[in-house]
Amino acid sequence: MKRLDLKTRCNWIDIARLIGIFLIYVGHYGEILGTAYNWLTSFYVPLFFLLSGMTECFNDRGIIKNLVHKIFTIAIPYLFFGLIYSFYILLTTFEPRSFGEYMYYILKGNLSNPAGLGTGLWFLPTLFVISIAFSIIKKIGNKLIIFVICLALHICSLFVINPIAGQSGMNLLWNTDRVCNYILFFCLGYILFEPVQKIISSDKMSVRILSVLAFIVCITYSGTLYCGHDLLDIMQDINKVSWVVYQIIKPMISIYSVIFISALMQKNTLLGRMGQNSLYLFSNESLIKILLPLFLSAFGLQKQTDTPMQVYVYCAVLIPLVYYILIPVEKPVLDRIIKLEQVITEFIHPQHT
């Protein structure tokens, strides 16, 4: 399979990412959302790892080239936005100690920090580690064995790592403790991409009917979760096996709903272009949530996010602001840095003519 590029990339994946970004923006308002909060947090993180795993199907780089690529496309952007938030702390507190402390958390890849800024950035170092680890695991070639390894890591996370981390407050370097949890969803994306793409591209009426029926079932379950009722909750109490299955099935049902909706909108090129910039949209969340209220206050205005509907509308406004205002400023800077990847790759693996 050819490497993913702008000509061959699937627009529905980018739209699914954009929907996921919106859900993250909304979900970070917490308990204001009521019962919807628990529904959102049940699947929006697995959604992103699964979508990232789908694009891994287009990755034919060797381990070293892949490492260099991920450093430039994930690790460096992570540090770039970490620096932005660090300088914001320095400018607002005038305390070099706070700046240094925040940088410590950024370099550690920790999802918690003293200022509570950019905490969502933990996703990037986690994705970086998963991408590198999975590029090694997938060299096995057998998708069943790959799945079993990732499932074993997931189970280890549920029964060993998570309990220890919960008791001790442990957070490993670059969130490697969370890698074991989410690598399974990355793996599922890698395995499921081809069948999902075939379903989306199929002209067979039987396939379309079955996919619609599956969507009706999934959106119904997601709707009950949104309202605070879990129809599968009984699976948690049967035995440990059913509990593990529940931890996987629950997010996958809502993820299917997002993918189905994204496929319906796949011809919308604007949404696709916005979704292609998901790294920037994601990393700018805390920044835009700081800047817009400051801008509004200059005109004597205040944001209103006291109800779920106000949060939905407000977040729907934030995303275009990031896309049209912040990204055009930031992207040229990062693009210049990312261009160095080709130079380094050529140095490591020179092409002989």
Q: CB neighbours (10 Å) of residue 108?
A: 16
* Contact in structure between 124 and 77 (CB atoms under 8 Å): yes
Percent of the chain with pLDDT over 70: 90
- Find, among 11, 82, 37, the residue nearest to 225 by Cα: 37
Residue with tokens 């948690």: 236
C-alpha dihedral, 275 to 277 to 283 to 289, nearest 10°: -70
- Report pLDDT digits (tens) over 275-319: 999 999 999 999 999 999 999 999 999 999 999 999 999 999 999
Question: Over 80: is that where the pLDDT of 52 sits?
Answer: yes
Q: For the chain, give the mean pLDDT.
A: 89
In this prediction, residue 112 carries a pLDDT of 58
Higher-confidence position of 13 and 89: 13
Encoded amino acid at 64, one letter: I
One DSSP character per residue, 17-36 reads: HHHHHHHHHHHTTGGGGTTH
Gap between the Cα atoms of 17 and 51, Å rounded: 7
* Contact in structure between 91 and 53 (CB atoms under 8 Å): no
C-alpha to C-alpha distances, 296 to 103, 287, 288, 304, 311, nearest whole angstrom:
29, 14, 12, 11, 16
Residue 310 in tokens: 């106000």
Domain boundaries, given as residue ranges, for the chain: 11-348
Q: Which of 108-112, 241-245, 252-256 has the lowest mean pLDDT?
A: 108-112
Check residue 178 and report its DSSP letter: H
Helix axes 176-201, 143-156, angle to 10 degrees: 140
In this prediction, residue 5 carries a pLDDT of 43
- Find, among 226, 229, 225, 253, the residue nearest to 308 by Cα: 226
In this prediction, residue 205 carries a pLDDT of 96
pTM (2 d.p.): 0.91
In this prediction, residue 7 carries a pLDDT of 46
* Contact in structure between 47 and 255 (CB atoms under 8 Å): yes
